[in-house]
Amino acid sequence: MDIRLDEIWEKAKEFLAHELSAISFNSWIAPLKPVSTRDGILTFQAPNRLVKENADTYRKQMEAALTGVIPIKFTVRIEAPDTQGSPVSYPSARPSLESDLLDNGSEFNSNYTFENFVVGDSNRVAYAACTSVVKPNGGPQFNPVFIYGGSGLGKTHLMHAIGNHSQDNTPDRHVLYVTCEYFFNEFIRVAINQRRYDEFRAKYRNCDILLIDDIQFMEGKDQMQIEFFNTFNTLYEAGNSIVITCDKPPQRLYELEERLRTRFASGLIVDIKSPDYETRVAILENLAKQNGSIIGFDVIDYIASNIVSNIRELEGAFSTVLAYGILTGSITLDIAKEALKGIIHPAAKKTTSSEIIIEVVARYYNVSLEEMRSSNRSREVAEPRQIAMYLCKTITDDTYVYIGQILGNRDHTTIRHGYQKIKKEIDNANTDLISHIEDIKKRISAR
């Protein structure tokens, strides 16, 4: 391999290490090896498909970092062992400037199905909206469906799920998935440069479902907006479905023509949020099942309690722990902590401890610490104990397992149950309880 290429990549990695979170960087960027450069395409080798698929989502950042090292415009391409030499298997990964042919089909990532999508409060509506698109009968219930939310929360997964489901159940329906960037590159290359506008137009206007991912890419690109506006109207008037994803709601797409913003907002707008604890646990359990690995709940709880905002990072943490487990022969909580140190710094975030919280709650309700830890289940003791469980879980990064240990060696499921019970009361606006909890919180922060 060209030595200079290696050097350039080392420098670019320094930029990326600053720009990305430690876990994304370590999981998806660090394992990549630059292997060749030709015609402005810099090819990287990823050790496996999981790394490839996730690294693909950082190609833009990689390209920018490389340009920061040497002023040449690279297109990054990432290969995994099983994709080498064969067509890359789904469109978001397809290097857009490579092929000269306009192909009319989409292939979908077979892992991104509705079945593999864990549904929780954070994504339930988005999931329902996407399943409504694949209903076999009648025209679209909502059109367009506009899904927005931060990176790594499952937007692309849901789009591929629509594609996979349709291919399996309604193969006559033509579903087209493209990233907005792909649409743009094809528009420039085929419609503008090669003057094959009719072909381009036919491709995007003759589909039953158009899935267009990361529409924010369209901001500030006027010509493309005009083209997409026309495509949108043709599909819409023919009763064909359009599903759009974005990193923000339509009204915050400031550099988009007003008429497009209005169109986007005219159907169903749903957001997809960071997953709650329960969903994070379910996703990790699902990953463990898919990988055929046996991982204790303490490890799952540790990861789910500490990686909170992004599912791509959750998967990254999981695969790091798995790799450590394979190397050391077992996956224990200590191994997981070792694997994720440098990523998870629980001590830094903590302003108080579960021990202090339990003490404050006990004093507030005039219950002794012994009683808090005891098996006494009378209401006067059980309720303060559950409130302590709730507060320990929401205020600190401690795991259910740990909170169980310091609350009289209780099982983690008991702590989880206590937490959920209080959370439900709060969600149901139990105003007495809410005001007590506010008082207790004030006392905790005064400690």
In angstroms, what is the minimal distance from the CB of 133 to Mg ion?
17
Amino acid in the structure at residue 315: E
Binding mask 86-125 for ligand ADP (x = CB under 6 A): --------------------------x---xxx----x--
Nearer to ligand ADP, 55 or 224 (CB): 55
129 touches, from Mg ion, ligand ADP, none (C-beta below 5 to 8 Å by class) = none
Nearer to ligand ADP, 156 or 354 (CB): 156
Asked if 315 is part of the footprint of ligand ADP (rule: CB under 6 A), the reply reads yes
Total of chain residues touching Mg ion, rule CB under 5 A: 2
* CA dihedral angle for residue 120, residue 244, residue 90, residue 64, rounded to 10 degrees: -100
Question: How far is the C-alpha of 268 from the C-alpha of 324, rounded, in Å?
Answer: 43
Q: How many CB atoms lie within 10 A of CB 273?
A: 16
In angstroms, what is the minimal distance from the CB of 323 to ligand ADP?
17
Of the candidates 26, 27, 156, 305, which one interacts with ligand ADP according to CB under 6 A? 156
Kindly indicate which of the ranges 249-257, 308-316, 319-327, 395-403 contains the residues binding ligand ADP, using the contact rule CB under 6 A.
308-316
- Please give the residue whose beta carbon sits closest to ligand ADP in the complex: 154
Beta bridge partners of 42: 37, 76
Nearer to Mg ion, 155 or 385 (CB): 155
Asked if 151 is part of the footprint of ligand ADP (rule: CB under 6 A), the reply reads yes
- Please give the residue whose beta carbon sits closest to Mg ion in the complex: 156
Asked if 302 is part of the footprint of ligand ADP (rule: CB under 6 A), the reply reads no
In angstroms, what is the minimal distance from the CB of 91 to Mg ion?
12
- State which H helix or E strand residue 241 sits in: strand 241-246
Q: How far is CA 27 from CA 11, 21, 46, 271, 302, in A?
A: 18, 10, 11, 27, 18
Kindly indicate which of the ranges 73-81, 153-161, 389-397, 427-435 contains the residues binding Mg ion, using the contact rule CB under 5 A.
153-161
Nearer to Mg ion, 155 or 416 (CB): 155
151 touches, from Mg ion, ligand ADP, none (C-beta below 5 to 8 Å by class) = ligand ADP
Strand order in the sheet with 209-213: 175-179, 209-213, 241-246, 145-148, 268-271
The pair of structure tokens assigned to 37 is 């450069």
Asked if 320 is part of the footprint of Mg ion (rule: CB under 5 A), the reply reads no
Q: Rounded to the nearest 5°, which phi and psi values hold at 214?
A: 60, 55
52 touches, from ligand ADP, Mg ion, none (C-beta below 5 to 8 Å by class) = none
Beta bridge partners of 41: 38, 75
**Do 16 and 57 form a contact (C-beta atoms < 8 A)?**
no
Question: How far is the C-alpha of 219 from the C-alpha of 197, rounded, in Å?
Answer: 22
In angstroms, what is the minimal distance from the CB of 152 to Mg ion?
8
Nearer to ligand ADP, 153 or 367 (CB): 153
In angstroms, what is the minimal distance from the CB of 90 to Mg ion?
12
* CA dihedral angle for residue 262, residue 266, residue 268, residue 269, rounded to 10 degrees: 20
Amino acid in the structure at residue 181: E
383 touches, from ligand ADP, Mg ion, none (C-beta below 5 to 8 Å by class) = none
Question: How far is the C-alpha of 320 from the C-alpha of 47, rounded, in Å?
Answer: 13
Nearer to Mg ion, 13 or 155 (CB): 155
Asked if 156 is part of the footprint of Mg ion (rule: CB under 5 A), the reply reads yes
Question: How far is the C-alpha of 345 from the C-alpha of 340, rounded, in Å?
Answer: 9
Look at the chain and count its residues: 447
3-state secondary structure of 368: coil
Kindly indicate which of the ranges 151-159, 251-259, 265-273, 361-369 contains the residues binding Mg ion, using the contact rule CB under 5 A.
151-159
**Do 432 and 421 form a contact (C-beta atoms < 8 A)?**
no
Helix axes 49-56, 59-69, angle to 10 degrees: 70
Nearer to Mg ion, 155 or 410 (CB): 155
**Do 147 and 129 form a contact (C-beta atoms < 8 A)?**
yes
Nearer to ligand ADP, 167 or 376 (CB): 167
Nearer to Mg ion, 245 or 386 (CB): 245
Nearer to ligand ADP, 213 or 398 (CB): 213
Total of chain residues touching ligand ADP, rule CB under 6 A: 16
Question: How far is the C-alpha of 51 from the C-alpha of 31, rounded, in Å?
Answer: 8
Asked if 123 is part of the footprint of Mg ion (rule: CB under 5 A), the reply reads no
The CA radius of gyration of the chain, in Å to the nearest whole number, is 25
Kindly indicate which of the ranges 83-91, 152-160, 221-229, 257-265 contains the residues binding ligand ADP, using the contact rule CB under 6 A.
152-160
**Do 287 and 378 form a contact (C-beta atoms < 8 A)?**
no
Asked if 215 is part of the footprint of ligand ADP (rule: CB under 6 A), the reply reads no
Peptide bond into 144 cis (omega under 30): yes
Which residues of this chain interact with ligand ADP, rule CB under 6 A? 112, 116-118, 123, 151-157, 283, 311-312, 315
Which residues of this chain interact with Mg ion, rule CB under 5 A? 155-156
